């Protein structure tokens, strides 16, 4: 924390701001229930996000209580101790105040006894709050296999009492099924228990700062409006790279693979924001309508425009079958059949155990017609949105090289967030999305028909992989991935720039 006023006083001063920003006019006590409270997701993501919202004044003592629920036999202090280990650097006074908001209830996920106890504990807090409106938010930090039983228990035992105004909302984590049929079955089961406006399907990529910036960039800047189409753009890459492998998660990962784990959800969400038409307004339903439209415009994926890879050593994990064909790398070309994008390939690429860690959108423009400077060999203009790490946006442009000769080179016009916003804390994705749920804003959550359209695109490909019709080729850890992936990108039109490297600017 920076010097000056104490954290608690900063939190109080931000209180009026948080209220002004609140999208919901509802007041009253708020109960946040984290199911799976003793698991890694809750400890590493959910509780730290709740602490940061508390520290910034968005949730307050006296207005909110947090309940952890899991099968583990823990006391209130036992859970608090586990959580505090993931809140390093938090001021002791603030941390203590936050942890006192947390209570723990132990119970199973398919038995009413534990949920009756949970409801009783929540109701005691609500009765002591002296407010009329009761708001209940349930965060399922749990495997999707238990969603139906847990949601049935919530519906039966833990709904907001009808005698009081307020709401009940449920956040569910991905993966939402393994293919179209399983996703539809899960959607149907949850849909029988809750209305669509009560369900928040969280994809944390939609909470990332630069992903949220995509709509602003596209529709608030006159510069991009005439350029963002097939007449000017040659191809678009959406890339996710990790420089480590499955690292002990091999058995879990092998059930899903890189397409289900990353491409079908995270990268496809980014694709929607890059490719969609301008919504009528910023209302969540208008934005999600346009996302569905662009998903429905995607042509079936062609096998010749797919490259799968599996890094050498993946099957050394004893939890991974020796004959596994699960891809740890995939490059998939999507083609959109509409007026704006006809003929423009969208290359979605994700992989583990590669030579770098990054996630970015790379928009490559067509060659300049009538190239009088003969500079085509230096590469095309590209607009790059770096999602992580070192959040940035930069435009690769050709400029005159300093000196007496008329020589050209590639440089960049650069907006690096670490430089431009030095004293601004970029919020974590989970902070933003939990706050959106409290406010009732579903803009950054996945709607049921959107989920269905996404699975319709990838299910035939996934079934071909599962049946062994498409094979993963080996690649070396620490490489760019299979050479076939670069060949595919070249074949569909991507021109790699040689000799140019973007270096994140520093304050040094």
Active site residues: 266
* Backbone phi, psi, residue 377, to 5°: -65, -20
Contacts of 177 (CB under 8 A, 6+ apart): 144, 183, 184, 185, 186, 187, 455
Residues 175 and 260: beta-carbon distance below 8 Å: yes
Nearest to 394 by CA among 367, 372, 427, 417: 417
- How far apart are alpha carbons 294 and 373 in whole angstroms? 38
Per-residue tokens: 329: 């790398």
Give 160-222 as a DSSP string.
PPTTS-EEEEEEEESP--SSHHHHHHHHHHHHTTS-GGGEEEE-GGGGSHHHHHHHHHHHS-T
Residues 234 and 366: beta-carbon distance below 8 Å: yes
Strand partners for 203? none
- How far apart are alpha carbons 185 and 198 in whole angstroms? 18
- How far apart are alpha carbons 407 and 246 in whole angstroms? 46
For 236, other C-beta atoms within 10 Å of its C-beta total 22
């Amino acid at each position: 924390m920076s010097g000056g006023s104490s954290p608690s006083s900063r939190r109080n001063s931000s209180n009026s701001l948080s209220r002004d920003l609140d999208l919901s006019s509802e007041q009253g006590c708020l109960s946040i229930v984290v199911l799976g409270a003793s698991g890694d997701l809750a400890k590493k993501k959910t509780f730290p996000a709740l602490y940061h919202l508390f520290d910034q004044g968005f949730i307050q003592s006296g207005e909110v209580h947090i309940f952890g629920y899991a099968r583990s036999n823990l006391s209130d202090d036992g859970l608090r101790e586990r959580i505090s280990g993931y809140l390093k650097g938090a001021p002791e006074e603030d941390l203590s105040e936050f942890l006192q908001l947390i209570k723990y209830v132990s119970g199973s996920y398919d038995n009413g006894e534990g949920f009756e106890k949970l409801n009783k504990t929540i109701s005691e807090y609500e009765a002591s709050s002296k407010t009329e409106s009761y708001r209940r938010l349930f965060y399922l930090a749990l495997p999707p296999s238990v969603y139906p039983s847990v949601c049935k228990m919530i519906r039966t035992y833990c709904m907001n009492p009808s005698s009081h105004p307020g709401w009940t909302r449920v956040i569910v984590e991905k993966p939402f099924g393994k293919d179209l049929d399983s996703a539809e079955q899960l959607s149907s089961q949850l849909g029988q228990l809750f209305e669509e406006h009560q369900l928040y399907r969280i994809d944390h990529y939609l909470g990332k700062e630069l992903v949220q910036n995509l709509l602003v960039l596209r529709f608030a800047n006159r510069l991009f409006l005439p350029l963002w189409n097939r007449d000017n753009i040659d191809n678009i890459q959406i890339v996710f790279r990790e420089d480590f492998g499955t690292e002990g998660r091999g058995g879990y990962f092998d059930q899903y693979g890189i397409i289900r784990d990353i491409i079908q959800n995270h990268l496809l969400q980014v694709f929607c924001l890059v490719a969609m038409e301008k919504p009528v307004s910023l209302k969540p339903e208008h934005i999600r309508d346009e996302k569905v439209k662009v998903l429905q415009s995607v042509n079936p994926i062609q096998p010749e425009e797919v490259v799968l890879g599996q890094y050498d050593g993946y099957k050394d994990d004893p939890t991974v079958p020796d004959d596994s064909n699960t891809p740890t790398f995939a490059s998939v070309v999507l083609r959109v059949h509409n007026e704006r994008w006809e003929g423009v390939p969208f290359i979605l690429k994700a992989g583990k155990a590669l030579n770098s860690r990054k996630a970015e959108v790379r928009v490559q423009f067509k060659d300049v017609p009538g190239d009088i400077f003969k500079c085509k060999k230096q590469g095309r203009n590209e607009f790059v949105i770096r999602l992580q790490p070192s959040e940035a946006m930069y435009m690769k442009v050709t400029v005159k090289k300093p000196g007496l000769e008329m020589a050209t080179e590639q440089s960049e016009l650069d907006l690096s967030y670490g430089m431009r916003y030095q004293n601004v804390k970029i919020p974590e994705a989970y902070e933003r999305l939990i706050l959106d749920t409290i406010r009732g804003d579903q803009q950054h959550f996945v709607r049921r028909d959107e989920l269905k359209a996404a699975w319709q695109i990838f299910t035939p490909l996934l079934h071909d992989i599962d049946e062994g019709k498409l094979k993963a080729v080996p690649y070396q850890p620490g490489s760019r991935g299979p050479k076939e992936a670069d060949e595919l990108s070249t074949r569909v039109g991507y021109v790699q720039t040689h000799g140019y490297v973007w270096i994140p600017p520093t304050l040094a």
